[in-house]
Amino acid sequence: MGKVTRAWATVVALAVVTPLGTAACGNENKKPGLVSGSAGASASPTPPAEPLALAVTPAEGAKKQPVSTEIGTKVSGGKITQVTLTVAGGGEVKGSLRDDGSSWVPATPLKYAKTYTAKVTATTPAGQSETKTTSFTTMAKPGSVIGSGLYLFDDRTYGVAMPVVVEFSPGIKEKDRARVQRRMFVTSDPPQPGAWHWVENGTQAYYRGKEYWKPGTTLDVRIGLEGIPLSNGRYGNVDRKATGKIGDRFEMKVDNRTKKMSVYEGGKLVRTIPVSLGKKSTPSSSGTMVVMEKKESTVFDTRDDPDPTNRYVTDIDFAQRLTWGGEYIHAAPWSVANQGRRNVSHGCVNVSTANARWLFEKTKVGDPVTVSGTERKLAAGNGWTAWNLSWEQFVKGSAIPVTDGGGAGQSG
């Protein structure tokens, strides 16, 4: 196993996105009920239209508002038809209305210590309208913020199992997660159901589809955290944005029983590769992982391992990281005689140099790798473990209830 290192994709450009929308359908199998009353009875009169009522937030004159502030909208008898937000001396702010109509989300964080004016118009089906205006002032820049990272880069192509991964330091407390999750926006094109899942300690959150992403999918992501107030007295540090693309389907399945890796392209078996997995004292993890990082050449340095028998410094070629704990697929010319026969590694998937090179040229970050039949199960959060759960298990980790199979291409 190699030494653990991490890198965050720090992306600060921002985008206009729209969040989670839901839909509901009637029960087509319900039997029609009997209608009581005499034949020819007149229909009930049409009830009067609900009067138009509109309320907005923040309240007029509100002070020290977070720069993550959204324009809250509550309307009855109509719907929101226009929202404008302007900053004193600075022009208009772009943004979009949430699908549920609960608020209007600025496309970028607001500025610190500035005065804003929001004008909201609601309109009835008959054309009656009402407009409310409110002005508020944002807070000064806070001194205590969390750290965060987004594992997604612009204009890169990923595997079909690539989750959107957000990391937090310190972890987000459970009571704050719904608030934070509502500011994490993902749009998939073509639309595919998806949901968020929090790792137990709150240091990571994953977004994935119900199934692997369709090849050719575009993922637009905004993690709009700047200025979010948290219960520990800290605030979100920055907004992050990235747009990634999903490439062709490429999968690797490793069976400890046969000591072989089966490689599939587009669902078809294209190669079978002998492997050597972790020996009994350092077993490989069984579960569904994804390729997290690729290095054509690197050095595995485990001199800090508490077990002296596991300490070594070795040059490694064609390394593909699977876990934070240091499990990789990599070239291991020293174990070729054991590959396909017995396990001798420190937890990695050993393959020949020729097979390692062939895989390295084929794979993408985000390609799925499933290992089965070993002595150890993959631990949650040891790598990007979003796909090591069934969909039913995965959605239970959302801080916001997931309905109708997840967001139809949008979340937030």
pLDDT of residue 307: 72
Selecting among 25, 197, 330, 346, the annotated active-site residue is 330
Residues in the chain predicted with pLDDT less than 50, given as ranges, are 1-42
Q: Which amino acid is at 242?
A: A
pLDDT of residue 8: 43
| Residue 330 known to be catalytic | yes
**For the chain, which domains are there?**
53-138 (2.60.40.3780), 147-248+392-411 (2.60.40.3710), 250-378 (2.40.440.10)
The model's pTM is 0.83
* Residues 6+ away with beta carbon under 8 Å from 260: 254, 272, 273, 274, 275, 340
- Residue 190 exposed, middle or buried by CB count within 10 Å (0-12, 13-18, 19+): exposed
pLDDT of residue 403: 79
267 torsion bin: left (phi>0), alpha (psi -120 to 50), beta (else): left
Farthest-apart Cα atoms in the chain, separation: 93
Tokens of 270: 């294209």
pLDDT of residue 304: 73
Do the beta carbons of residue 156 and residue 245 sit within 8 Å? yes
pLDDT of residue 299: 86
pLDDT, tens only, 155-201? 899 999 999 999 999 999 999 999 999 999 999 999 999 999 999 99
| HSE, side-chain direction, 13 A CA sphere, residue 215 | 10
| Residue 348 known to be catalytic | yes
DSSP character at residue 177: H
Antiparallel, parallel or unpaired: β 239-246 and 62-65 = unpaired
Tokens of 156: 């890169």
Do the beta carbons of residue 33 and residue 27 sit within 8 Å? no
CA pair distance 346, 119, nearest whole angstrom: 62
pLDDT, tens only, 310-338? 676 788 999 999 999 999 999 999 999 99
pLDDT of residue 35: 29
pLDDT of residue 410: 57
CA pair distance 341, 361, nearest whole angstrom: 26
Selecting among 25, 197, 346, 348, the annotated active-site residue is 348
